[in-house]
Amino acid sequence: MGYTQSAKLQANVSKYYPKYAERASKGKRMPLFFRLLHPKIDAACETRHEFEKNETGTNLIGKIVMENAEDLICFVNLKGTTLNLSESYVKQLGYAKHELIGKSAFDIIHPEDQALVMDVFQEGLAQGTGKITSRLMKKDGTTVSVESIGKLVNEKGQPVGAVIVNRDMTEINRLMAELKEADVQNKKLFHLIGHDLRSPFNTILGFLDMLEERIPELSQKEITEYVGFAHKSALRAFEYLNMMFQWARLNNGSEKAVIGLVDAFKIAKERKEANYPTAFLKGIRLVVEGDEGAIAMADAGMLEIVLQNLIMNSIKFTDSNGKIKVLVGQKGGSVTIAVSDNGVGISPERLQMVFSTGIESTTGTNNEKGTGFGLATCNEMVKLMGGKISVQSELGRGTTFTVTLPAAQD
C-alpha cells in the first residue's frame, strides 16, 4: 500500500527535506524509513518550524528595541568595533549610522576618558560584565555624560563581542546637583539661625545676669530699663527667625522678591532699635543719619535682612567705645545705605572674597563667632532686588559697606 503525504507534511518536507520532496515530485516512492518514521518526521518538521518562528520573533523584538530604545545601545566585537547600534545614537548624538558602524566605539569617547574606558572594556571581556561613567562626544562637538553597562556575548560557548547600554545621565546629574544645592541651602539656614539667634540670646542672658547680681541695689527705674532691653532682645530674636525663614523660602523658590516702594530711612531706624541693646552692652554708639525721604524700589523684608546682617557685622568687629553710623541718602536714580564703623577693618586679601559663600568666619572683638554666610546672603539678596553692594576697608581704621538700590520714580 502506497504512502500518501498530507498537504501539511508535504509542505514541511518540501521546506526542510528538499531531497526527499524532489523524489516525491518525480513519482518515486519515499524511502522505507521515511514512511515508517512519518510521525517523527512530521514532529521534527513542526519543531523546526517553531524554532524558526521563535527566532523570527526574537529578531523582531530586538529590532523593535534597537529602533525605539531611549538608551544608547550598541553591539561591538572583541576589538571594540561597532557592529550595530540603536537609532538613539542618531537621535541623541547626531551621527548617521554609517559614520559609526565599522568604526571603533572608542572614537566617540571623550579623549580624557578613552584610556579608562578601554581598560574597563578589557576587564569586562575577562569578567563578563563591566560598568563605567564617561562622556560621549556628539557630532556638534558637545558632550553627554553617560553610565555604560556592558555584557559579554557568547556564541556556541565562545565570546564574540559585547552589548553595551549607555544611559544619558544629564537629567540625573541635574537632579543630583539640585539636591546637593538644597542640602547646602539647608545647612546655610541652620548656620544663619544659629549665628543670628546667638547674639540676641546672649544679650538677654547678659541683662538677666546683671539683674540677678545687682537687683538689690537697683532702682525700679533701672530694673524697668534692663527688663525693657531684655524684652527688645527677645523681640529681635523673633524677628531673626521670621527673616531667616523668609530667606529660606526665597532660596528654595517658594517665595519671590516682591519689589515695591520702601522707606529706606525707616527700615534703617528700625534696625538700629533692634540692635541697640547689643551695641549698648558692648559700649558702642549706634546712630542713623541722612535723608529721611529716601524711598527705594526694593523688597522690604530682604532689605531688613541685609541691614540686620551689616549692622551685626559692624558690632561684631568694633571695639568698646566705638561708633557705627548708618547713612541713608538719595541722589539721582539711586538710594544708598552705608554702614560704617571704626572697627578693626579687613585685610586686602580677605576683602577680595568677603562676599564669597562659606568663607571661614573670623571671631569678633569680644570673641563673637559667625558662619561666613552673612555677607554672602547680603550680596545674594541685594542682587535679587536689582541693586549692588560694595565694601571699603582699612586695617585698624574701620569698614564701610554700601548698598545701592534703584530709587522710586516720581
- Per residue in 43-87, pLDDT (tens digit) is 555 555 554 554 444 455 566 667 777 888 888 999 999 888 888
pLDDT(3) > 50: no
Distance of CA 84 to the CA centre of its chain: 35
What lies within 8 Å, CB to CB, of 71 at 6+ separation is 86, 88, 165, 166, 167, 168
Helices 264-282 & 220-251 angle (0-180, nearest 10)? 130
Domain ranges of the chain: 7-66, 69-168, 174-406
The string of DSSP codes covering 242-263 is HHHHHHHHHHTTSS----EEEE
Cα–Cα distance measured from residue 403 to residue 41, given in angstroms and rounded to the nearest whole number: 95
Across all residues in the chain, what is the average pLDDT?
80
70 vs 322, residue with greater confidence? 322
Compute the half-sphere exposure of residue 379: CA atoms within 13 Å on the CB side of its CA: 13
CATH topology for 174-406 is: Heat Shock Protein 90 (3.30.565)
pLDDT(8) > 90: no
CATH topology for 69-168 is: Beta-Lactamase (3.30.450)
pTM score, two decimals?
0.50
pLDDT(368) > 80: no
Cα–Cα distance measured from residue 146 to residue 166, given in angstroms and rounded to the nearest whole number: 6
pLDDT(33) > 50: no
Cα–Cα distance measured from residue 139 to residue 137, given in angstroms and rounded to the nearest whole number: 7
pLDDT(1) > 50: no
Which helix (H) or strand (E) covers residue 124, if one does?
Answer: helix 114-127
pLDDT score of 42: 56
Q: Where are the alpha helices (DSSP H) in 215-299?
A: 220-251, 264-282
pLDDT score of 357: 61
